[in-house]
Chain A
Amino acid sequence: MTTEAVNPGFMASGGKSWVREWLFTLDHKRIGMLYLWCITAFFVVGVLLGLVIRLELFWPGKDFIGQQAYNAIFTLHGVIMIFIVVIPSIPAAFGNLFLPLQLGAEDVAFPRLNTFSFWLYVLGGATALVSLFTGGGAPDTGWTFYVPFSAVTTTNVSVAVAGVFILGFSSILTGLNFIVTIHRLRAPGLSWTRLTLFAWALYATAWIQVLATPILSITVVLIIVERLLGLGIFDPARGGDPILYQHLFWIYSHPAVYIMILPAMGVISDIIPVFCRKSIFGYKTIVGSSLAIAFAGSLVWAHHMFVSGMSDTAVMVFSFLTFIVAVPSAVKVFNWLSTMYKGSIRLEPPLIYALGFIFLFAMGGITGLVLGSAGTDMHVHDTYFVVGHFHYVIFGGTGFGMFAAIHYWFPKMYGRMYNRKQAIIAALILVVGLNGLYFPMYLLGLEGMPRRYYDYLPQFTSLHQLSTYGSWITFAGLGLMLWNLIRSRYRGEPVGRNPWKAATLEWTLPSPPPTHNFDTEPVVTHGPYDFSQVRDDD
């Protein structure tokens, strides 16, 4: 460890006030950093709420918080984690930081719109937080805001969903910006087949953000209208239909899980070749699978509603389409493993996190098929099986993708390396912790423990306690990881341009990159995973 100075690059102060230089910045790298810090802060809040939930469930009945507080806390955990942490996570933070660099561009296509997106993100997050402390108390509907309860509960649902609306707008504008950026700002020679797979994943994600989010926007507007103006869009007594709410909600919210997972898959596709010194296996099939997931993922929403009331034909169609999505997801996993085959593997922290991703995502993906198949879904619907599945995919998948991205790009962002040994230990603790935390949930679900319940039958006690122990291990892993990163941001060993010897454009710049990115516009002459010309300048 050393405190040797590092050239601050784009982080250097320009002599103006912090607010002006950061909150009004147009620099995509600074905006990316702002997102990263906000997301990390909200992530910590979400984790603490999750710990409270697990702690309350240690014994049946009341342990230390009341029922209403419990309902508010799991709603809050969901809203914060989904809308403020996971959806923006990789695209808004690392997409902003590294997409223009990987394209050889000066910035995104619409820098001012990008700043505006960030403001909307902050405003939306703040609105969601305000809803906790004002009005009739924190929302208690769960993050899905299902009617009729969300239309009649006295808690502060209107303000919370207004926050969701604003966050959705922010997400749309970021997606729009990335699509135009990828189309218009690629450096000379950077053809579509030379794009990084991270950029391709962001591209597929951006289309989902743009095309699916407006449906959520109108749905939450309808909740507000129903609550404030007394329209009965979802009320059968007034000619409405609550099932339609579920359709509209999932038309967005199912594609949204692909907004969450696709960028993480892009990160993994970028990391694995670098640490195996081998070009990616099946570049075009990975690209195709990203687009196929984005497309097919938009057609499967009603698999959340097998028990809500649907015709048998619809159930079979949606079940079938759900199985179709498993194909491109599996293509990716097999391609990653084939890339590693006979590669020159270096077990560095980013690869460890990537391998953790593959393992945990596979666990979540396979149990997704149990839920996608209508017959088995009837049995485990709305049980802890769903909770376990979702957290394996989103924490084990997107979360680990995010951690892999942080450990991969940390030296580029700060010009310093973290303690690699600690990073690997933290990753292993996290894998153990996550399995301890979520695997018992599969068993609980199969035995019939419903999700979101405050109380449970005594026979579930030991599995609940196992899960709570897992949450402590996970917390310890997260603590070690964050401590290592925060300390290394100030005291880590300085690194050169390309510590991992990667072949993409961001690694040709100094660490951290200068404000204007490239002195001269780069000309791309090879693919993103062609390591034959990588310079050893570290």
Chain B
Amino acid sequence: MTEHRDYQGAKMGMWIFLFTEILLFGGLFVLYSVTLGRYPTEFHEASKLLDVTMGTTNTVVLITSSLFAALSVVGLQRGSRKAAKVFILLTLVLACCFLVIKYFEWSHKIHAGIYPGGEALTQWEPGKQAFFGLYYIMTGLHGLHVIIGMGVFLWVWTRIAVGTCTPEHFVALENAGLYWHLVDLIWIYLFPLYYLIT
């Protein structure tokens, strides 16, 4: 078998995969919009309980990490493996920051009994329970995607280190970057839908 490289094909495959990710979250966004339409005041009340400062910080952190991801692709395309690796590490550091902040947010809520089956949440009206149910599942699934994205970047980092992802064949890094932008983009929708609807 001859070695087969198809830059266009690899990109096309990644874009199609991103469609599937959008649809995966799409199901949850449908649930969100239907539930919001049903309980507008409860969503308004519940949203006040979220920490806007932490949410905003996380938004900035994630957008900046996306910038670094893009810079790592540009770095590799311009021939600098070192720049690419440094920017990947910066992306990973910010991704960790995001998860740490998310952890504090969640644990704060859980300590206050605001979780499915928790002593506070079960006392509240159904609309608020629905808000927090969706909040946990959507930000949780998003957090899982952040972790997966970090894994993908680590994998690409080792590929650059061993020389299978190079300035000539950089599609693996480019695709990892695309995935990361998607993760970022989903957060950009989650943030206003949960934190800013008060």
Contact = CB atoms under 8 A, between A and B. Distances in A.
A222 B24 CA distance: 11
A248 B30 contact: yes
Given A211-B23, A214-B23, A516-B1, A231 B136 contact: yes
Interface in A90-113: 106-107, 109-110, 113
Interface stretch (B9-17, B73-81, B91-99): B9-17
Given A180-B12, A213-B20, A238-B129, A231 B1 contact: no
A239 B17 contact: no
B111 interface: no
B130 A232 contact: yes
B116 to A, nearest CB: 5
Interface string A202-243: 000000001111110111011001000111110011111100
29 contacts: A107-B4, A109-B6, A176-B13, A176-B17, A180-B12, A183-B9, A184-B8, A184-B12, A210-B20, A211-B19, A211-B20, A214-B21, A214-B23, A214-B26, A214-B27, A218-B27, A218-B28, A219-B27, A221-B141, A230-B116, A232-B130, A233-B130, A233-B134, A236-B126, A239-B35, A239-B126, A239-B131, A240-B126, A244-B30
Interface in B2-59: 2, 4, 6, 8-9, 12-13, 16-17, 19-21, 23-28, 30-31, 34-35, 38-39, 42
A179 interface: yes
B128 interface: yes
A179 B20 CA distance: 13
Interface of B: 1-2, 4, 6, 8-9, 12-13, 16-17, 19-21, 23-28, 30-31, 34-35, 38-39, 42, 116-117, 125-131, 133-134, 136-137, 141
Contact of B34 (A107, A176, A244): A244
Given A214-B26, A244-B31, A184 B6 contact: yes
Contacts of A417: none
A215 B25 CA distance: 8
A238 B133 contact: yes
A214 B35 contact: no
A408 B74 CA distance: 51
Contacts of A109: 6, 9, 13
B120 to A, nearest CB: 14
Contacts, number: 108
A110 B137 contact: no
Nearest to A105: B4
Interface string A383-412: 000000000000000000000000000000
A286 interface: no
A239 B130 CA distance: 5
Given A180-B9, A210-B20, A215-B27, 7 more contacts: A183-B9, A183-B12, A185-B9, A237-B126, A239-B42, A240-B35, A251-B27
B23 A238 contact: no
A172 interface: yes
B133 A248 contact: no
B31 A233 contact: yes
Nearest to B20: A214
A231 B137 contact: yes
